[in-house]
Structure formats: structure tokens, C-alpha cells
Amino acid sequence: MIDIENLSKSYGSRTLWSDVTFTVARGEMLALVGPSGSGKSTLLNCLGLLDKPSAGVIRHEDKDITRFSRREIRGFRRDVLGYLFQNYALIENATVAENLKVAVKPRRPLPDQPGKTIAEALNRVGLGGRENETIHYLSGGEQQRVALARLMVKRPALVLADEPTGALDDANASTVVDILREMSESGCAVVIATHSASVREQCDRVFALGESERDPSHKPQRLTVPLSTT
């Protein structure tokens, strides 16, 4: 689904990470871990074409997406990518339903991937019947669940989630991870940047970024580590 080869990111003389190489397959959840400042969010932003790596290649279905034109980037974000941001990226003065409607694709669902309706998605995240509430009046945890429902409606092929459980209690955090797992089982590739040991343990594989900003000789782990299923 996504192949990352020898990716590096530098800011001036500072190298955030280098030689990052891993693959995320369809139907797989990968945890991206590392200490604060190791560049997890930056790596997600490079995968989502919100930032550019300093070197290396990111391939989606054998196409180097780092060389995409602006038009191709827009198409990739529209048709392939789903992003779960730390700040939710919702339209605060719009309703819950209006925020979900912008994610509806103008095409029929695939036979093996029936799309969730807005009502179904909100029911799944525990916000059923609240379509007409304005985002501004929702709590941070509720806004995160609206953002998750928006992903369910969009049905992306690749989901990038940046600390998706950071603002949630244990019950709602479990719901978020369960839904991301459901999306991966339906064929979506999911990459989750997280500090949570619980989230990490529920993923299929782990990629660890090191503290390269503190030790320039340190490089991130270049092999993902399968988690035990026993």
C-alpha cells in the first residue's frame, strides 16, 4: 500500500530522522512510536503530503507521491487519504452533520466496502442523534469522535492518525482503536503515531523513531517489529 524508502528529514543542520524504511500493507495497523521530539508527527505529515522529506521516496501503488504535482496531491488527499489530526481539523461554526457531509465521496460504495451513512457513523462513535449540534460547543473528546465518524463516512484507503486517543478517557480511547481496527480489517492501511502503550499493543507492527535530535549518530529502527499474538 505505502512503501517508505530511505526517508530523511532535516531542518538546517539538524537531522530529525534519517534512513527511515518500512512498508504498510492494506489491512494492517502500524504504530509509530518514539519519544517526544523524535518526529512522529512530521513523518505522518510527510506521508500525508503536508510536508516534504529532505530525501528518500514514498510510494503509493508504485507511484512516487513525493513527486506529485499540486493537482495530484489534491487528488491523493481526496481519494486515498484520511487524516485524524490532533486538533481535529473540524469546521467549528458548522454542525456535526455538515462536517461529515464534506467527506462524502460522489461515487457509489464498492460492493465489498459499503459506506457508512452519517447516522450510522455517529451511532458507532456514541454521538447518535447529535447531527445538528455545532462543533464549537462539543468537548475535545466529542470533537475527536466526530473526526473519527468523518473518516468512517469517507472510507479512505490510508489513515494517518496523530495521537488519536490523547484527549480521550479509557472507554472512548478503546472505541477509537476498535474503529481503526475495523477500518483496517476492511482493507484500509492505518498508521498511528502514539505514546500509548495500550494503543501500541493493539497494532500489528511497530516502527520506533529514535532520539536523533539528541544523538546525531542514532538512527531509527528500520525494521518494523511484529507484535506477539499470544
> What local confidence, expressed as pLDDT, does residue 171 receive?
84
- pLDDT 10s digits, 114-131: 457 899 999 999 999 999
| pLDDT score recorded for residue 166 | 80
22-65 confidence digits (pLDDT tens): 999 999 999 999 998 899 999 999 999 999 999 999 999 889 99
Residue 103 — pLDDT band, cuts 50, 70, 90? Answer: confident
Domain coordinates of the chain in residue numbers?
Answer: 1-80+157-167+185-230, 89-155
User: What spatial distance separates the first Cα and last Cα of the chain, rounded to whole Å?
Assistant: 27
- Position 39, amino acid: G
pLDDT band at 106 (very low <50, low <70, confident <90, very high): low
Percent of the chain with pLDDT over 90: 66
Express each pLDDT in 215-227 by its tens digit.
Answer: 444 344 434 444 4
Q: Decide: 203 and 227 in contact? Cβ < 8 Å.
A: yes
pLDDT above 70 for 74: yes
- Tell me if 49 sits within 8 A of 68, measured CB to CB: yes
Q: How confident is the model at residue 90 (pLDDT cuts 50, 70, 90)?
A: very high
Looking at residue 110, its pLDDT comes to 42
Q: What predicted TM-score, i.e. pTM, was given to this entire model?
A: 0.84
Full DSSP string of 57-126 = EEEETTEEGGG--HHHHHHHHHHTEEEE-TT----TTSBHHHHHHTT--SSPPBTTBPPPPHHHHHHHTT
What does the block give as the cell for 179?
Answer: 474503529
Residue listed under C-alpha cell 480489517: 185
Per 3-state DSSP, the chain is made up of helix, strand and coil in percentages (nearest 5) of 30, 25, 45
Q: Exposure of 94 by Cβ count < 10 A (0-12 exposed, 13-18 middle, 19+ buried)? A: middle
CB burial of 153-174 (b: ≥16 within 10 Å; e: otherwise) equals bbbbbbbbbbbbbebbeeebbe
What's the mean per-residue pLDDT of the chain? 85
221 close to 211: Cβ distance less than 8 angstroms: no
Contact of 103 with 150, CB cutoff 8 Å? yes
CATH ID of 1-80+157-167+185-230, from 3.20.20.140, 3.30.70.1430, 1.10.238.10, 3.40.50.300: 3.40.50.300
Torsion of CA 153, 180, 113, 41, to 10 degrees: 70
